[in-house]
Amino acid sequence: MTDQLLAAAAPGTAYDPDTDDVVQAELAAEAAAAAAREAELREAVRTAARADEAARDELTRRAGGYVQADVDAWLAHALAAYRGHYRDPAAREEAAGLLTPPVLAHAALLAELARLVPDADVDQLAFAARLATAEPEAAGELAVLLARAHPAR
């Protein structure tokens, strides 16, 4: 087939993949497959985030604020430690639009405190949840300050 194409081409003709229908079709198919994979990943991230929020809402509805605080702490710990579906950078980015400001502030503060004091256990960091719940903006600002105080990661 290649021999036929070369024989049919005028002398001095240069091959241009931009005008090759087969090459263009393959590139289009690859781009469509990549877009489909990316869309599937985004949907999986959204589904996981919605599941987190649904679990949080249902537990809160059933048991009141006490469970909500526990679920929020779990979400903050998972986000701070990049565990579960928060391991994926896209999931962490999506969480910024789905989780409440206290949860996000708690996660940011936990991440910085854990970086500064790696051997701290959960009980030693319980104050972070109280700060984030009472003053989420201040807790977020504290996390930023701690990150600046020790920028090497």
Question: In this structure, is residue 20 part of a structural domain?
Answer: yes
The answer to whether position 126 is within a domain reads: yes
Number of domains in the chain: 1
Distance, CA of 150 to CA of 15 (rounded, Å): 56
* In-domain check, residue 5: no
* Least confident piece of the model among 2-6, 7-11, 29-33, 137-141: 2-6
Q: Of 42, 40, 45, 100, nearest to 75 (Cα)?
A: 100
What is the model's pTM? 0.53
What digits encode the pLDDT tens for the residues 104-150? 898 999 889 988 888 888 788 888 888 888 998 999 999 999 988 87
Phi and psi for 18 in degrees, rounded to 5? -70, -20
Is the residue at 4 inside a domain?
Answer: no
Is there a domain that residue 10 lies in? no
Domain that holds residue 95: 16-149
Q: Exposed, middle or buried, 141 (CB in 10 Å: 0-12/13-18/19+)?
A: middle
How many degrees, rounded to 5, is the angle at CA 39 between CA 21 and CA 72?
165
HEC string of 111-143? HHHHHHCCCCCHHHHHHHHHHHHHCHHHHHHHH
